[in-house]
């Protein structure tokens, strides 16, 4: 009888512990859903630029230099390109890739996101660097001659609603990423987001133009 009583006590303790654990799990799951609903249902997409921020170099940090088969950047390269989304223009980007692999640029735009919504970029700049360690891949295989780069910055937009006659400021991050071939032809994506959950993506392509430096003027 005593052993049966002990067994029942043990079962009650186990049931209580299991119930407590279940409550804790529910609290944790509810917290995750509240903070980021996509965290439970989607794996992090490695192609989203904020999941590749580890490739951005800090001040004074050196990255991996291009290999012999990748583009040899001996002068600053200027890129000016239209930002496009489903055959619609979304302004322009301009950026410079320096011989040390560092990049700076900006985005200017004014466009209608819908018949009643107009967006105007009030300020935007971004910076980043090349990263020779990432290998280009597509359906045809690898292409080790292409050079990857990634940049990050901030933007401020003015959103005007003609239906309600209201304006509001929209802030967020911009990422400009892409690939460069040995002829300095560049192409890639512009991604803007305010919360890293919803985002807009534009495409761009342009040929880099070598810029003369002050040292070239005295040759």
For residue 41, the model assigns a pLDDT of 45
Does this model's pTM top 0.85? My answer is: no
- pLDDT above 70: residue 35: no
**Distance of alpha carbon 122 from alpha carbon 201, whole angstroms:** 19
Tokens standing for residue 67: 């290999």
Fold of 49-218: Porin (2.40.160)
Tokens 């700049």 sit on residue: 125
CB-based contact 107:93 (threshold 8 Å): yes
pLDDT tens per residue, range 53-102: 999 999 888 888 899 999 999 999 999 999 999 989 999 999 999 999 99
Mean pLDDT (whole number) for 39-54: 76
CB-based contact 92:82 (threshold 8 Å): yes
Residue 46 pLDDT level (bands cut at 50, 70, 90): confident
Domain ranges of the chain: 2-39, 49-218
Q: 162-188: buried (b, 16+ CB within 10 Å) or exposed (e) per residue?
A: eeeeeeeeeebbbbbbbbbbeebebbb
The secondary structure of residue 196, as a DSSP letter, is: S
pLDDT tens per residue, range 100-137: 999 999 999 999 999 999 999 999 999 999 999 999 99
**Distance of alpha carbon 214 from alpha carbon 151, whole angstroms:** 26
């Amino acid at each position: 009888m005593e052993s049966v009583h002990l067994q029942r006590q043990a079962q009650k303790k186990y049931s209580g512990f299991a119930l407590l654990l279940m409550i804790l799990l529910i609290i944790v799951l509810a917290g995750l859903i509240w903070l980021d609903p996509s965290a439970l249902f989607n794996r992090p997409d490695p192609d989203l630029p904020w999941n590749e921020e580890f490739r951005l170099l800090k001040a004074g940090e050196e990255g991996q230099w291009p290999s012999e088969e990748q583009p040899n950047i001996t002068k600053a390269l200027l890129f000016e390109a239209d930002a496009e989304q489903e055959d619609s223009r979304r302004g322009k980007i301009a950026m410079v890739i320096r011989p040390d692999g560092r990049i700076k640029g900006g985005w200017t735009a004014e466009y209608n996101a819908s018949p009643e919504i107009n967006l105007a970029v009030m300020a935007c700049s971004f910076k980043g660097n090349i990263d020779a360690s990432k290998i280009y891949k597509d359906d045809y295989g690898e292409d080790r001659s292409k050079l990857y780069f990634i940049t990050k910055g901030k933007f401020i937009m003015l959103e005007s609603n003609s239906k309600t006659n209201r304006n509001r400021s929209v802030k967020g991050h911009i990422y400009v990423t892409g690939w460069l071939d040995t002829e300095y032809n560049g192409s890639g994506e512009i991604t803007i987001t305010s919360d890293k959950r919803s985002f807009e993506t534009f495409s761009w392509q342009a040929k880099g133009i070598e810029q003369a430096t002050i040292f070239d003027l005295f040759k």
